[in-house]
Amino acid sequence: MISKVSIDECRASTMIRMTFNNPLLVVLAGPTATGKTQTGIHLASHFHSEILSADSRQFFQEMKIGTAFPVPHELAAVRHHFIGHLSIHDSYNVSRFETEALQLLKRLFQDRRVVFLVGGSGLYINAVCHGIDILPDPDPAVRIELKLRLEQHGIATLQEELQKTDPEYASIVDLANPARLIRALEICHTTGVPYSSLRLNNPKERPFRILKIGITHPRETLNERINNRVDRMIDAGLVEEARELYPYRHLNALNTVGYKELFDHFDEQYPLGLAIEKIKTHSRRYAKRQMTWFNKDPKMVWFLPSETEGMISLIEKFLP
């Protein structure tokens, strides 16, 4: 006959296995300037958890102002991972991020029932949740030819070709990112088929459950927040930060909104005031592309950033 103590011990053991063998990854996603950082900290603090950043621009330690790094007191409130862990001179890609993030999650889930993945880089979020597609290696000569076209004729020629050869991928990719354009076009040239047709999106099994929460604002509110944040970045020293990074403008990490416009200003292509307006315009366009990406995910549950109690209630429903 099993004693009451033994039954209680069995129940406790079962609960422990339920908690740690069936953990939950909460994805907190959305466009730029929606308040994901503050919301993520609030939720992670409530559940005594940690945050993995899925903002690929915040990986680079030299780009603090232009990528809206969490400030010191935010980093101190909750432990963050993948924030400023790289230099702009480091080689890094989404495949490495997938591997490193999964390794970290395996360790964190040993004593946590929920962990948070926070950011707006859809490709990096998908890599952790579903894996990345295995694509054929392109002909190196094709990459050299595309890079030469970029140098001689500018990014517009690559944008136009991608929009003609693969309009589906062109509608969701960051068209201001030459590395993404070159990667897509070299696959198109090498295989003779659109890059989007090879992105099968066959999800890989993960040893954790996934809950996706989207953070958004009405369009006018978001545009105002973006404009105000750019102004705060300028006041915080973005121009000076970009000037220090100007000698390295050729690096992929710096081919991003906020720096490219200032680099062109330093090249005397237009005055500072116009550069700032371009940063705001390009940031709003980037946010629109992010929303297009995330809106295609039917499992995304959307909230306003002020609705943290609703988010907490939803997360608790997924916990044992």
pLDDT interval class at 201 (50, 70, 90):
low
* Residue 162 vs residues 19, 155, 203: alpha-carbon distances, Å: 46, 11, 26
Q: What is the mean pLDDT of residues 288-310?
A: 95
Q: What is the mean pLDDT of residues 163-181?
A: 90
pLDDT at 141 over 90: no
Q: Are residues 105 and 77 in the same domain?
A: yes
Q: Are residues 162 and 117 in the same domain?
A: no
Q: Are residues 23 and 161 in the same domain?
A: no
Determine contact, residues 57/85, Cβ cutoff 8 Å.
Answer: no
pLDDT interval class at 11 (50, 70, 90):
very low
**Domain carrying residue 151:** 140-198
Q: Are residues 100 and 32 in the same domain?
A: yes
Q: Are residues 211 and 301 in the same domain?
A: yes
Which pair of structure tokens corresponds to residue 77? 């409130």
Give the model's pLDDT for residue 134: 66
* Average of per-residue pLDDT values in the chain: 89
Give the model's pLDDT for residue 4: 33
Q: Are residues 232 and 118 in the same domain?
A: yes
Q: Are residues 236 and 303 in the same domain?
A: yes
Give the model's pLDDT for residue 5: 35
Q: How many domains would you assign to the chain?
A: 2
Give the model's pLDDT for residue 204: 87
Determine contact, residues 85/61, Cβ cutoff 8 Å.
Answer: yes
> For residue 165, what is the domain's CATH number?
1.10.20.140
Determine contact, residues 191/198, Cβ cutoff 8 Å.
Answer: yes
Between CA 23 and CA 276 the distance in angstroms is: 44
Q: Are residues 192 and 270 in the same domain?
A: no
pLDDT at 82 over 70: yes
- For CA atoms 73, 49, 203, 205, the dihedral sign is positive
Most confident region among 138-147, 167-176, 208-217 by mean pLDDT: 208-217
Asked if residue 288 is part of any domain, the answer here is yes
Cα 85 from chain centre: 15
Closest by Cα among 315, 306, 309 to 114: 315
Q: Are residues 109 and 163 in the same domain?
A: no
Between CA 142 and CA 61 the distance in angstroms is: 32
pTM for the model stands at 0.79
Segment holding 62, helix H or strand E: none
Residue for token digits 């890609």? 93
Give the model's pLDDT for residue 138: 67
Q: Which range, of 82-86, 129-133, 258-262, averages the lowest pLDDT?
A: 129-133
Q: Are residues 21 and 166 in the same domain?
A: no
Q: How many CB atoms lie within 10 A of CB 218?
A: 9
Give the model's pLDDT for residue 252: 80
* Eight-class DSSP state of 49: -
pLDDT at 230 over 60: yes
Most confident region among 10-19, 179-188, 258-267 by mean pLDDT: 258-267
Give the model's pLDDT for residue 167: 92
Q: Are residues 188 and 258 in the same domain?
A: no
pLDDT interval class at 14 (50, 70, 90):
very low
pLDDT at 28 over 70: yes
pLDDT interval class at 17 (50, 70, 90):
very low
pLDDT at 302 over 80: yes
> For residue 239, what is the domain's CATH number?
3.40.50.300
